[in-house]
Chain A
Amino acid sequence: MEKVSIEELQKKANEIRKDIIKMLLEAGSGHSAGPLGMADVFTALYFAILNHDPKRPDWPERDRVILSNGHIAPVLYATLAHAGYFPLTKLKTLRKLGSGLQGHPERKRLPGVETTSGPLGSGLAQAAGYAYAARMDGARFRVFCLTSDAEHQEGNHWEAVAFAGKYSLSNLTCIVDRNNIQISGHTEDIMPLEPLEDKYKAFNWHVIGIDGHNIEEIIDAVNQARAVYENPTVIIAHTIPGKGVSFMEGLPEWHGKSPNSEEAKRAFADLRTLGGKIKSEHE
């Protein structure tokens, strides 16, 4: 993959955020906060980290991305389209009848979607199964699992943490979107997750904590994980839910809803100016 500068990646993430808002506005339902918060991680993965080929989505040697919290599908779809898996024009069909862009991702419905997800807590186990099977065959690709923080309240997830720890699945990297919110409020009020890093360590995982909006840190953490041969790695990416749209940032009420046209307009204004950092080119 050709080298892309950090600045270009930041711009790409911003384009992806704009498309997320457009898609959600068009769909009239869906989740806003998570997709915006994970735009930097997705951009870093698909434009700087993954060994993949959007023209050959079934290429056997591709790195695998298992999205566990399927409700952040808009950021997956927007990123896949920007990467070239399918035309950008398809994005407006999100959640519409007959679209490959289902409300929650479904395998076989859309190029680049590796698995079906939505019900929480089941992605890491699938990724671990993938990683285990790949290692059996000596395959060299890496498996990435993207999870939310709140889905760590699911037992299924911890079963997988134990499994990957027991079998030292070093070809597996889990990236946790630690945005501290879930549909009914803040994670630490609903059912506390901390000390999250210590919990993973106790299961024999290598743990890295990063700023999930700092693309350099994301790339560095993944490279560090590659160099760890004894353990699976978890990257706890501290993110701001709704990142990039000032009136959504940090608010649980934006977990599970989409913007109306007035809100979308304000969101575009925020994103166009990169939060006031650059001058608005168009109104």
Chain B
Amino acid sequence: MITKSAKLNPKIFEKDVEMVATRQGYGEGLVLAGEKDEKVVVLSADLKESTRSILFEERFPDRYIEVGVAEQALATIAAGMANYGKIPFISSYAAFSPGRNWEQIRTTIALNDVPVKIVGAHAGLTVGPDGATHQMLEDISIMRAMPNMIVIAPCDFLEAKKATMEAARNGKPTYLRFAREKTPVFTTEETPFKIGRAETFWESKEPMVAMVACGPLLYEALLASKELDKGGIESLVINCHTIKPLDEQAIVRAAKTTGAVVTVEENQITGGLGGAVSEILAKNFPTPMEFIGMPGSFGESGEPDELLEKYGMRAKHIIEAAKRVIARKSS
């Protein structure tokens, strides 16, 4: 059942649950962060409308900087501004930033240790018809490998807003990952959010399997748990929005409680959340695992729903994975 302390939207499983994209949460969070701290500036590489940084531009035109279609400059100009004392958010699509400018981020932001916020919008498979070039599925992996970098994938509109505001004041190089599609708003303003702390969103009395998820697919994990419950398989769902630093305690505790783990992410399984959780469990509490995520291939054009179906990221796939991992536990 839904964890009380998570204070989730009571309409979470209803048909008319509100649908808003996480990128909109970014845009609105930016305005709030900008109101709180005048050091916040926003740089865009020609994508202000779709990344929603336009909301900041409308409110603070003097603190909005257009750099053109130049993602390497986007990162390095921001590095200089942060070195001076600003708090720059750089907005583009994840495929281009951090996709194209990874080395510039590594040298001039992470190694330099300046608080630039890298915002990868339109991340994941659900950018749909644009096809494989634009479906960034490696960003969690490549950003997680980078020392000094915080990596966050918010699960819905409200969490995206909170993550943006908190990133503005964490003083660290930070990667924020957002999606294009409208997805259910299943948290509330009261749902706890702290960078680096995973939250339990679902916990039944005697959970046999733990789902560890990040991003909007967390909703699919909750749907899966609800369905599994009906069939007598109790479970636990963790919102692991911060992939780095990973909340090791929460992960190990979930593994000890259940003895079986399924990770869920809209990223390559290799090096992503699945990789991160495996590293922790292999060292601390070896546990059978199954992985929901991109299985080492590129995507293709299609509707978001069709793609999630084809590449096995829906609730029904999570249910199958849960059953598989539970079976492995007893064998």
Judge whether A133 and B108 touch: CB under 8 Å: no
**CB of B301 within 8 A of chain A?**
no
Q: Which of B47-55, B69-77, B128-136 contacts the other chain? A: B69-77
Judge whether B80 and A159 touch: CB under 8 Å: no
Give Cα A142 to B62, complex, Å.
Answer: 21
| Count of residues in B whose CB is under 8 Å from the partner chain | 29
Judge whether A114 and B111 touch: CB under 8 Å: no
Binding site for A on B (CB under 8 A): 41, 62-63, 65, 67-68, 70, 72-73, 76-86, 88, 103-104, 107-108, 111-114
Least CB distance from A192 to B in Å reads 22
Judge whether A125 and B72 touch: CB under 8 Å: yes
Residues of the A chain whose Cβ atoms lie less than 8 Å from the Cβ of B70: 159, 162-163
Q: Which of A116-124, A176-184, A222-230 contacts the other chain? A: A116-124
Judge whether B111 and A129 touch: CB under 8 Å: no
Judge whether B112 and A129 touch: CB under 8 Å: no
Judge whether B111 and A122 touch: CB under 8 Å: no
Q: Closest residue of chain B to A161, judged by CB?
A: B73
Q: Closest residue of chain A to B111, judged by CB?
A: A116
Residues of the A chain whose Cβ atoms lie less than 8 Å from the Cβ of B79: 115, 122, 125-126, 129
Q: Give the 3 A-B residue pairs with the shortest CB-CB distance, closest first.
A: A129-B80, A125-B76, A159-B73
Judge whether B113 and A129 touch: CB under 8 Å: no
Some 16 contacts from A to B, beta carbons below 8 A apart, are: A106-B112, A116-B111, A122-B72, A125-B73, A126-B83, A128-B77, A129-B76, A129-B82, A129-B83, A131-B80, A133-B84, A134-B84, A160-B77, A162-B70, A163-B70, A163-B73
- Given the contacts A119-B107, A130-B83, A107 and B77 also touching, CB distance less than 8 Å: no
Residues of the B chain whose Cβ atoms lie less than 8 Å from the Cβ of A160: 73, 76-77
Query: A116-B108, A129-B79 known; 20 other A-B pairs, CB under 8 Å?
Result: A107-B114, A115-B80, A115-B83, A116-B111, A125-B72, A125-B76, A125-B77, A126-B76, A126-B77, A126-B108, A128-B80, A129-B76, A130-B81, A132-B77, A136-B86, A155-B72, A156-B72, A156-B104, A159-B70, A162-B68
**CB of A96 within 8 A of chain B?**
no
Residues of the A chain whose Cβ atoms lie less than 8 Å from the Cβ of B77: 125-126, 128-129, 132, 160, 163
**CB of A108 within 8 A of chain B?**
yes
Q: Closest residue of chain A to B116, judged by CB?
A: A129
Judge whether B80 and A130 touch: CB under 8 Å: yes
Judge whether B81 and A133 touch: CB under 8 Å: yes
Judge whether B113 and A125 touch: CB under 8 Å: no
* 0/1 interface trace, chain A 146-189, chain B, CB 8 Å (1 if under): 00000000011001101100000000000000000000000000
| Count of residues in A whose CB is under 8 Å from the partner chain | 29
Give Cα A119 to B113, complex, Å.
Answer: 16
Least CB distance from B197 to A in Å reads 28
Least CB distance from A262 to B in Å reads 36
Q: Which of B65, B103, B112 contacts A116 (CB 8 A)?
A: B112
Q: Closest residue of chain B to A156, judged by CB?
A: B72
Judge whether A133 and B76 touch: CB under 8 Å: no
Judge whether A122 and B84 touch: CB under 8 Å: no
Give Cα A118 to B85, complex, Å.
Answer: 22
Judge whether A136 and B107 touch: CB under 8 Å: no
Judge whether B103 and A107 touch: CB under 8 Å: no
Residues of the A chain whose Cβ atoms lie less than 8 Å from the Cβ of B78: 129
Q: Closest residue of chain B to A60, judged by CB?
A: B85
Give Cα A78 to B76, complex, Å.
Answer: 27
Q: Closest residue of chain B to A128, judged by CB?
A: B77
Least CB distance from A52 to B in Å reads 16
Among B41, B73, B85, chain A packs the most CB atoms within 10 A around the CB of: B73
Among A114, A127, A136, A162, chain B packs the most CB atoms within 10 A around the CB of: A136
Residues of the B chain whose Cβ atoms lie less than 8 Å from the Cβ of A66: 80
Judge whether B107 and A122 touch: CB under 8 Å: yes
- Given the contacts A107-B112, A108-B113, A163-B67, A133 and B80 also touching, CB distance less than 8 Å: yes
Least CB distance from B37 to A in Å reads 14
Least CB distance from B64 to A in Å reads 11
Among B65, B68, B76, chain A packs the most CB atoms within 10 A around the CB of: B76
Residues of the A chain whose Cβ atoms lie less than 8 Å from the Cβ of B83: 107, 114-115, 126, 129-130
Judge whether A156 and B113 touch: CB under 8 Å: no
- Given the contacts A156-B73, A159-B70, A159-B73, A117 and B107 also touching, CB distance less than 8 Å: yes
- Given the contacts A115-B83, A126-B80, A126-B83, A106 and B73 also touching, CB distance less than 8 Å: no
Least CB distance from B60 to A in Å reads 11
Give Cα A129 to B76, complex, Å.
Answer: 8
Give Cα A155 to B65, complex, Å.
Answer: 20
Give Cα A159 to B63, complex, Å.
Answer: 20
Judge whether A132 and B72 touch: CB under 8 Å: no
Give Cα A122 to B76, complex, Å.
Answer: 6
Q: Closest residue of chain A to B101, judged by CB?
A: A156
Q: Closest residue of chain B to A124, judged by CB?
A: B76
Judge whether B107 and A133 touch: CB under 8 Å: no
